[in-house]
Amino acid sequence: MPEPLRCIPSSTIIAGIDFSTGGVKALAFTVTGKVVAEVRLPTDLWTADGVSELNLMQLEGQARTVTRLLASKLRMLGRLDDWRIIGISATHHTAGRTDADGNQVRRAICWNDQTLAPYHSSGLNRLGGQERARELTGGPWAVRYSLSHLVKDELMLPKLDWDRTRWILPHGPLAAGYLTGRFDCTSVSSAASTGIMDLRTNQWCRDMLDALDQPSYRELAWNNLPKIIDMNEPVGTMAEHVALDARLPAGIRPVVYPTLDDQAAGLIGGGAVDAGQVAVILGNSAVVNSSSNELPRSSNLDAMKLNWGPYLWMRCYSNGAQFIDQVAGRNWHQCKEADAVPPGSNGTIVLPFLLSEPSVGVNRAQVTWFPSEPMDYPTRVRACLEAIGYLITLGIREHQAAGQNISQITVSGGMAQSQLMCEILASILNRPLVRLEVSEGPALGAAVVALAGAETRSRCQQGINQPFTAADAANLMVSFGPTIRPRPDWLEDYRQGLTEFTRHLPNKQSL
């Protein structure tokens, strides 16, 4: 029987704020997961010369603006006095540098930066290869992990900027810092995305900094790493200047809890807290996540750590909604004629690699149509959706090959609001999918874990020994819509389509 809340009042409002490279989504939830207010802001990235970087002054502005907007909406609803808790989700592997006052030293390098590969390669050689990385941390060091940023900094960042750096912080802890004024801490989830934390001990691993060439830079980097804190230890209350800016009443200062990477947030926001439960997040990136008490048996999947204990297994494809938006247009979901296109799109297949995808052997952008690019728009839309479905299916099979016995697959994210997309994916997988009622899984997941932290902290303060887990919080807040089942008349077409899609990949995946 799931444990109920004993300390947090039922009237409490929890804000789940998801800071992504595509935008900011802030949702105000009740303790039962009902959305009572919602705010969205854009994110503008620096993309000159192939980089993908986020100005930290913009991030600070987003943190303050989203607080003002959410406070205004809650005030109009008469619920502002109930706002007590904030959970934060942010993009994995994105990280920046600040001085002692939180001022930007350099922009945050984002997870999808296309310039990192040569720096990662040289750092990996210096370290001793992936086997050495696994020996030190328990998992691989992928290109997008923020340790690659430090290797790039060694060559590209002036020594003066190294010297004036006080904190090297991921996306989420930076946002939490701008809300609380505290920049000296990070969460297990965020630290796991750096490639510097030992996933088995939740401690920084100094030997991973051997990826840097100069001992002096290793020492500087080591001294700039923040403290890793437990999920039940608050980052802090909202800073007075932020609260006053948002016109919060005296005494209403929401508490910010340790942040989650968007992948971890999407996992628990998708209701996947037990082994065998998989969360598919169909956002700008297309992601297959699962949790496990063990590291993956194979070395192919990314492995990180969840704030609440287990490991996070992840296959993250950079090419998700951003591929479809650019290749099929942002209004693709309005093309109802795509529903009538036969499964397999009349023999049309597209390789959906607007960005490189090293996990399938694609090391450069490659949007290629077979046998040729279709002239009619509905076929184009459906082929794009099918391509993402094929990629997700390959990711699911990697989880199975690594030892995951899948019992349930949930789906969330913007693309998941398309019934056609979900039916295509269910049919390629030949498995039912459970769609999240709240489309913004990472924002919900951030709120879930923050509620778990707040309830646990209150129980400790009141001497209540009965534990309250992240799974208990998810049981209260996460709800699902109807199950989406495979279309029997599509199964054979998609079995053949997956085989054909895989045949065109540089790395032929095992089917």
- Check whether residue 240 and residue 318 sit in a common domain: no
Predicted confidence band at 437 (pLDDT cuts at 50, 70, 90)?
A: confident
| Residue 449 resides in a domain | no
Indicate if 122 and 170 belong to the same structural domain: yes
- Token pair, residue 158, equals 């002036």
Please state whether the predicted TM-score (pTM) of the whole model is above 0.75: yes
Kindly report the CATH number assigned to the domain that includes residue 406: 3.30.420.40
Contacts with 156 (C-beta within 8 Å, 6 or more apart), sequence order: none
Report the chain's terminal Cα–Cα distance, integer Å: 39
Closest CA to 105 of 48, 66, 150: 150
Annotate 28-68 with DSSP letters as a single string: EE-TT--EEEEEEEE---B-GGG--EE-HHHHHHHHHHHHH
The number of folded domains in the chain is: 2
Same domain, yes or no, for 311 and 188? no
For residue 391, the enclosing domain spans: 271-439+480-503
Please give the pLDDT value at position 511.
Answer: 47
112 token code pair: 């999808």
- Given 258, 284, 307, the domain boundary residue is 258
Alpha carbon of 457 to those of 294, 300, 468: distances in Å?
Answer: 27, 37, 10
Q: Does some domain include residue 52? A: yes
The answer to whether residues 124 and 88 belong to one domain is yes
Query: Contact at 8 Å (CB) between 238 and 86?
Result: yes
| Secondary structure letter of residue 294 according to DSSP | S
User: What confidence tens digit (pLDDT) does each residue in 444-458 have?
Assistant: 999 999 999 999 999
Higher-pLDDT residue of 318 and 8 is 8
**Does residue 6 sit within a domain?**
no
User: Domain ends where: 258, 283, 301?
Assistant: 258
Domain boundary among 228, 258, 288: 258
Angle at 344 between CA 343 and CA 346, to 5 degrees: 100
For tokens 């999808």, the residue is 112
CA distance 246 to 429: 47
Does 254 lie in the same domain as 132? yes
Residue 461 lies in a domain: no
| DSSP structure string for 92-133 | TT-EEEE-TTS-EEEEEEPTT-TT-HHHHHHHHHHHT-HHHH
DSSP 467-497: ---HHHHHHHH--EEEEE---GGGHHHHHHH
Q: What share of the chain is helix, strand, coil (3-state, %, to 5)?
A: 40, 20, 35
Q: What tens digit of pLDDT does each residue of 187-237 get?
A: 999 999 999 999 999 999 999 999 999 999 999 999 999 999 999 999 999
Q: Do residues 145 and 179 both lie within one domain?
A: yes
Structure tokens at 231: 């999920």
Examine residue 455 and state whether it is found in any structural domain, yes or no: no
Residue 283 included in any domain: yes
